[in-house]
């Protein structure tokens, strides 16, 4: 599916001729979309908030909310009296009726979640894999997760965060190096297996959308997300909660920008990529081969102690991350750079001084806009982002059935 930008509310033009029936339907659909989008981004908004955010008339918002209540998509409640003058404005909450199944296949397990409007994760489950899963293993896991998480009731669709390059038009995984997959039609296979509409995107694209809408990038106009994991550095870019990653969605691969011309060979075929110089495996080795679960406390101890070879490795990696971020700032002019995984652990324990030294040499204007923050959504990040692959179409036309 093609990503859609948020639907702006439509206002009947003053003095224009009466709109025709189909124009009125379109107007109503767009206004419903604007109200539900506002509830999605801030659950518990009051009707007064919705009136302000959509720019629609108060009575129009009241009628639109009533229509969404009748459809079972939202509920209203009255906050406790504040003692102020006038009646309190009812708060509008999304119900659990809009449900999306999300899937995230990884090396050791396929993770599933049931996600509702407002980025709420209603349930989670995982199916473990003894070896890197084949596409058939993931199909079997998907059926099991659907039966466990959503045995009854309708699903609006299935959103998949895939660990590889994804052709977003077709739902094909072009290559997933760590799973050993090449050109797997994952979206069509899952749609047939689950008898439901399926949308697939790269996991970093799901992460950037989740952080931009509900996490550390909330409210920022251009968000860059970089996640450091066991298999490398995933990257993506979003504007207004929509990934802006090129013609087929293959862009945003900041992990493969050149940071060192005499650097190590990368699995992508190039040398000196960010993810070969800034690597969790190299960091764990420098810290004395500690397990990944001990990474952050060990980093904190090393940083607090006197200078050591481990501290030198921490600073070397932060320096190369800074080289990449200077390019990111000059090319993309982000307002927020969100770091996740071990990149966040590096910044939380060592601070941003090494990054700031490089960012200070980015071009003026862009460098003043950029702020480096750590990811906020934790374990639910990819479920929230993958659900948005389906919810963006629900939000664009709230009363459609989706099938």
Residues that bind Zn ion (CB under 5 A): 256, 266, 268, 270, 273
Q: How far is the CB of 253 from Zn ion (least distance, A)?
A: 8
DSSP-assigned letter for residue 399? T
Q: Which is nearer to Zn ion, 129 or 256 (CB)?
A: 256
Q: How far is the CB of 265 from Zn ion (least distance, A)?
A: 9
Q: How far is the CB of 267 from Zn ion (least distance, A)?
A: 7
User: In which residue are the tokens 């919705």 written?
Assistant: 50
Q: Are 157 and 199 in contact (CB under 8 A)?
A: yes
Count CB atoms within 10 A of the CB of residue 267: 13
Q: Which is nearer to Zn ion, 135 or 263 (CB)?
A: 263
Q: How far is the CB of 274 from Zn ion (least distance, A)?
A: 8
DSSP string, 2-34: ---PPPPPP-PPTTPPPPPHHHHHHHHHHHHHH
Q: How far is the CB of 57 from Zn ion (least distance, A)?
A: 54
Rounded Cα gap, residues 319 and 316, in angstroms: 5
Helix axes 342-350, 309-332, angle to 10 degrees: 110
Q: Which is nearer to Zn ion, 278 or 359 (CB)?
A: 278
The tokens of 170 are what?
A: 């077709």
Q: Which is nearer to Zn ion, 205 or 257 (CB)?
A: 257
Q: Which is nearer to Zn ion, 70 or 264 (CB)?
A: 264
| 3-state DSSP of 185-238 | CHHHHHHHHHCCCEEEEEHHHHHHHHHHHHCCCCCCCEEEEEEEECCEEEEEEE
Question: What SS3 class is residue 161?
Answer: strand
Parallel/antiparallel/unpaired status of strands 157-162 and 198-202: parallel
Q: Which is nearer to Zn ion, 259 or 394 (CB)?
A: 259
Q: How far is the CB of 259 from Zn ion (least distance, A)?
A: 10
User: In which residue are the tokens 């495996």 written?
Assistant: 281
CA atoms within 13 A on the CB side of 165: 17
Q: How far is the CB of 256 from Zn ion (least distance, A)?
A: 4
Q: Which is nearer to Zn ion, 205 or 352 (CB)?
A: 205
Q: Which is nearer to Zn ion, 192 or 270 (CB)?
A: 270
CA-to-CA separations, 307 to 175, 281, 317, in angstroms, rounded: 41, 21, 15
Q: How far is the CB of 276 from Zn ion (least distance, A)?
A: 7
Rounded Cα gap, residues 99 and 116, in angstroms: 5
Phi, psi at residue 233, to the nearest 5°? -115, 115
């Amino acid at each position: 599916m093609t990503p859609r930008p948020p639907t702006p509310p439509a206002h009947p033009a003053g003095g224009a001729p009466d709109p025709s029936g189909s124009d009125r339907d379109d107007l109503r659909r767009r206004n419903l979309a604007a109200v539900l989008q506002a509830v999605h981004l801030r659950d518990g908004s009051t009707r007064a908030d919705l009136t302000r955010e959509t720019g629609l008339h108060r009575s129009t918002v009241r009628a639109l909310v009533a229509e969404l209540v009748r459809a079972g998509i939202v509920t209203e409640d009255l906050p406790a009296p504040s003692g102020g003058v006038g009646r309190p404005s009812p708060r509008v909450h999304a119900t659990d009726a809009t449900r999306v199944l999300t899937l995230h296949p990884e090396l050791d397990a396929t993770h599933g979640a049931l996600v509702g409007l407002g980025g709420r994760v209603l349930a989670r489950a995982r199916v473990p894999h003894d070896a890197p899963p084949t596409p058939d293993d993931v199909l079997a896991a998907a059926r099991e997760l659907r039966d466990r998480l959503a045995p009854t009731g309708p699903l609006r669709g299935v959103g998949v965060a895939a660990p590889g390059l994804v052709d977003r038009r077709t739902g094909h995984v072009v290559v997933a190096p760590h799973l050993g997959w090449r050109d797997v039609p994952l979206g069509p296979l899952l749609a047939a297996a689950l008898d439901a509409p399926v949308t697939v995107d790269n996991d970093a694209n799901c992460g950037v959308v989740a952080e931009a809408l509900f996490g550390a990038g909330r409210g920022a106009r251009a968000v860059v997300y970089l996640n450091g994991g066991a298999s490398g550095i995933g990257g993506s870019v979003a504007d207004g909660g929509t990934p802006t990653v090129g013609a087929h969605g293959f862009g945003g691969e900041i992990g493969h920008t050149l940071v060192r011309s005499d650097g190590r060979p990368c699995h992508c075929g190039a040398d000196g990529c960010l993810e070969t110089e800034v690597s969790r495996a190299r960091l764990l080795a420098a810290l004395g081969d500690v397990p990944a679960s001990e990474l952050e406390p060990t980093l904190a101890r090393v940083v607090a102690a006197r200078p050591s070879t481990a501290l030198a490795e921490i600073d070397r990696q932060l320096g190369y991350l800074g080289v990449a971020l200077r390019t990111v700032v000059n090319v993309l002019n982000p307002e927020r750079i969100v770091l996740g995984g071990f990149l966040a652990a590096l910044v939380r324990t060592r601070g941003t001084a090494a990054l700031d030294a490089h960012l200070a040499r980015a071009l003026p204007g862009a460098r003043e806009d950029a702020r480096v923050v750590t990811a906020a959504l934790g374990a639910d990040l990819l479920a929230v982002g993958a659900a948005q692959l389906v919810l963006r179409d629900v939000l664009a036309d709230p009363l459609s059935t989706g099938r």
